Structures are given as C-alpha cells and as structure tokens.
Amino acid sequence: MQLRYSFRVYPSASQRTALTRAFGCARVVYNDALRAREVARDAGLPFPTVGELSKRLITKAKKTPERAWLAEVSTVVLQQSLRDLDAAYRNFFDGLKGRRPRMGAPRYKSRKDTRQAVRFTANARWAVTPGGKLRLPKIGDVRVKWSRRLPSVPSTVTVVKDSAGRYFASFVVDTGPEEALPQTTSEIGIDLGLGHFAVLSDGRKIDSPRFLRRAEKHLKKAQRSLSRKEKGSKNRDKARIRVAWAHARVTDARRDFHHQLSTQLIRESQAIAVEDLAVKGLARTRLAKSVHDAGWSAFVAMLEYKAARHGRTFTRIDRFEPTSQVCSVCGVKDGPKPLHVRTWTCKACGAVLDRDANAAVNVAKAAGLAVTACGAQVRPGLVPAQRSEAGTHPKPQPLTAR
Ligand SMILES: [Zn+2]
C-alpha cells in the first residue's frame, strides 16, 4: 500500500528564495508546454511528446537569453513539471472518454496560485543528511520536523508551499508488509451522528475534541474580521493572511483528530462497518454543511487504509434504507420519525432506542457483524460522550538511512 507522509520544513531566507525560483521555473516550463500543445492542436499537428518538449523547452531553452535562468534550478524539477502537464492532459481525455469523472482542460499556472509545488525524483539525487536535514539540489540542506517515522525509504519528495506560506516535504512511501495488530473480538458499527461527529454501535458518542473546536472558533473570528476590512487596504491583506493561517490550523487539527480516532477504533475492533454516505448526494441537502465540515469521508478513508494495513475487516454499507426506521433489537420497521425525535420506544418489542446508536447498530448488523443491540438502547449513565483524544503520539524520529 502506498501512503503519503508530509512533514513541515523550515527553509532559511536564502533557501526560500531558491524555492521561489524553483516554483517559478517549474511554472514557466509548465505554461510553455501547455502553449506548445495548444499551438500544435490549432495547427492540426500531433501533440509533442514529453521527450520532445523536454528537449525544446528545457535543454534548448536554457541556451537562449530569455530562458537562461532555467539553468539555476534542478532539471529534474522542470522535467517533473512536464510530466505533471502530461498527467493533467491524460486525466482530462480519460474524463472525456468516460473513464473517470469529467474535469476541465489543463490551465495555465499563475504566480498567485495558493499552492506551489516542485518534485524531486531519485534522479535529482536529493537526500536526507546524517543530521536529518533534507538536501535538495540547488536549494540546500533544509531543516525538517520529522513528526512520524517513515515506514520505508521514499524515492521522490515533493516540496509544497501552502496558502498560509508554510513549507512541507511530502513523500509517497510503500508501507511494506502489513503490521497485524493483536486479534480482538470487538466488532463495531459507526454512524455519522447529527449532533456528534460519530456514534458507535456500543453506544459511545464521539464529539470533535476541544482543540479542533477552538481552532474552528478562531477561524470564524478571523473570517468575520476580514469581512469588515476595507477592500484593497493593507489591513485587509493582513487579515487575509490571518484567515489563511487559521484555516490551515483547522485543517491540521481535524486531520490529527481523524488520525487519533481512526487509530483508536482500528486498535479496539476486529471489524468495522460504516454507512457510505455518498457525500456528493448529500451536498444538495441541508445536511451538506455539517457533513463537509466534519470531514466524514476523509475519516472513513483513514479507517479503510488502516484496516487494510493492520489486518482488520472494513465494510462500507450502502444507504440501504433509513437506519432510523428499523428497530435494532427486533428488526421491525416502524416508519420515519422527524429529526427532533431523539429517542423512542419500539412498539413491537418495547425497547427504548436512541436514534444515533440505533442507526450505528443497524449499520453493523447490515455488515453482518456480531454486535449486540444493547448499545442502541437508552441506558442513562452508561453512555459516555467520549472525547477520544487517547490516540498515539509517535515520537519524532529522524530518517537516517537512504
Ligand atoms: Zn423492537
């Protein structure tokens, strides 16, 4: 399995200048290649290949006065830029042929794009120094915060600058053989609660942790402050940067929360079932905002790959029927209930059911998991609203071997 690992990097002032130059050169080559393809199309000629473009737009261009500065950055970065354009075109044509979701034609890149990136492959001879720095050709040894251990040695590194002006080194690595966890007997269904981030079939209700809620509050405040600033003013520029930062912090906090919770659930449970919400379909409903905000699909994707990696069973249940209409104890369907109804008594078996937990048990049962329905029943005092911040915090460990 391949996973992406990202680490924050802290380039010095001169390294930032060099990176800006690399971003710029990669962008110019990308745009030159896009223009070359458009010219070929308009002339009814076949598209130039990556090899031809590389010769023309990199090797030969470096010898012209207009593009001589391309020599100041690693050639690999420029070649990767051509490959990116090639991939963008392939995806675009595959979309037209119906092989994947339709997407727009590749567009020219701008200096004002919020995300800038360059990629170094093994050919670029990038390295991690014995001191744990990231050695990038024509940029230098950049300080890295190694927040996790890499499971294997990557061949490629992408350096990214985000909209908040932060730099990251991003690696795609093979996770190698799965790391099986000790077997457990616990099997669990998870439902997306309306009032909670998730509700488990054992009755646990999980809310967003405080560090995430605080970051979200901070973002809202920054956004309000931005909207009050006069257009074109210096203060507005400052406020915009603050919003970008607050946004980045929310994104990070949310990812941390998803990692902690998914790791905890995978450790605890041998089998996990979730309801496939088909978020796209929900986008038109009033649920949309809460679903997107909660980042449910990103969380489910984490559960899925962690399950695969640790030898757990993961099942996605289609939206088979409204899970709130069926009693999870006796299975009798007793009709829809308005959203404000949080608990009710099953007329067939007399069980007192909690709306969210009942749904979670139904999800688990639909996946064929052996859960007891007791979690769905209301038992005051037995249903802790867990914060679930007890995830693992791996010690930072520098990558030394190359
Ligand atoms: Zn019942």
CA of 353 to the centre of ligand 1 (A): 9
**For residue 123, which amino acid is it?**
N
Query: Which among 275, 276, 304, 334 is annotated as catalytic?
Result: 275
Please tell me the predicted confidence (pLDDT) of residue 147. Answer: 85
Minimum mean pLDDT among 93-97, 166-170, 249-253, 336-340: which range?
336-340
Minimum mean pLDDT among 22-26, 151-155, 212-216: which range?
151-155
Please tell me the predicted confidence (pLDDT) of residue 319. Answer: 63
Mean pLDDT for 151-169 is 90
Cα atoms in the 13 Å half-sphere on the side-chain side of 294: 21
Please tell me the predicted confidence (pLDDT) of residue 322. Answer: 60
With a CB cutoff of 8 Å and minimum separation 6, the contacts of 126 are 120, 134, 135, 136, 137, 157
Q: Is 387 helix (H, G, I), strand (E, B) or coil?
A: coil
Query: Which among 187, 202, 354, 356 is annotated as catalytic?
Result: 356
CA of 347 to the centre of ligand 1 (A): 7
CA of 87 to the centre of ligand 1 (A): 54
Between 328 and 334, the more confident residue is 328
Tokens, residue 173: 């690595």
Mean pLDDT for 92-109 is 87
Between 11 and 324, the more confident residue is 11
Please tell me the predicted confidence (pLDDT) of residue 372. Answer: 66
Q: What are phi and psi of 397, to 5 degrees?
A: -145, 120
- pLDDT band (50, 70, 90) for residue 378: low
Residues β-bridged to residue 353: 344, 377
- For the chain, give every domain's residue range: 2-174, 187-386
CA of 334 to the centre of ligand 1 (A): 9
Between 103 and 273, the more confident residue is 273
Mean pLDDT for 248-273 is 92
Dist. CA 323–CA 275, nearest whole Å: 10
Burial code (b: 16+ CB inside 10 Å, e: under 16) for 341-353 equals eeebebeeeebeb
pLDDT in tens, 311-320: 899 998 876 5
Please tell me the predicted confidence (pLDDT) of residue 369. Answer: 84
Between 33 and 393, the more confident residue is 33
CA of 65 to the centre of ligand 1 (A): 80
CA of 182 to the centre of ligand 1 (A): 35
Please tell me the predicted confidence (pLDDT) of residue 287. Answer: 53
Between 122 and 133, the more confident residue is 133
Query: Which among 32, 84, 187, 191 is annotated as catalytic?
Result: 191
141 carries an active-site annotation: no
With a CB cutoff of 8 Å and minimum separation 6, the contacts of 306 are 262, 263, 266, 312
Please tell me the predicted confidence (pLDDT) of residue 391. Answer: 36
Averaged pLDDT score across all residues of the chain: 84
Please tell me the predicted confidence (pLDDT) of residue 16. Answer: 97
Dist. CA 17–CA 14, nearest whole Å: 5
191 carries an active-site annotation: yes
Please tell me the predicted confidence (pLDDT) of residue 298. Answer: 86
List CB-based neighbours of ion ligand 1 within 5 Å: 327, 329-330, 346, 348-349, 351
Q: Is 302 helix (H, G, I), strand (E, B) or coil?
A: helix
32 carries an active-site annotation: no
Please tell me the predicted confidence (pLDDT) of residue 290. Answer: 54
Please tell me the predicted confidence (pLDDT) of residue 384. Answer: 36
- Can you give the length of the chain in residues? 402
DSSP assigned state of 333: B
Position 37 pLDDT exceeds 50:
yes
CA of 352 to the centre of ligand 1 (A): 8
Please tell me the predicted confidence (pLDDT) of residue 399. Answer: 44
% of the chain at pLDDT higher than 70: 85
Please tell me the predicted confidence (pLDDT) of residue 385. Answer: 37
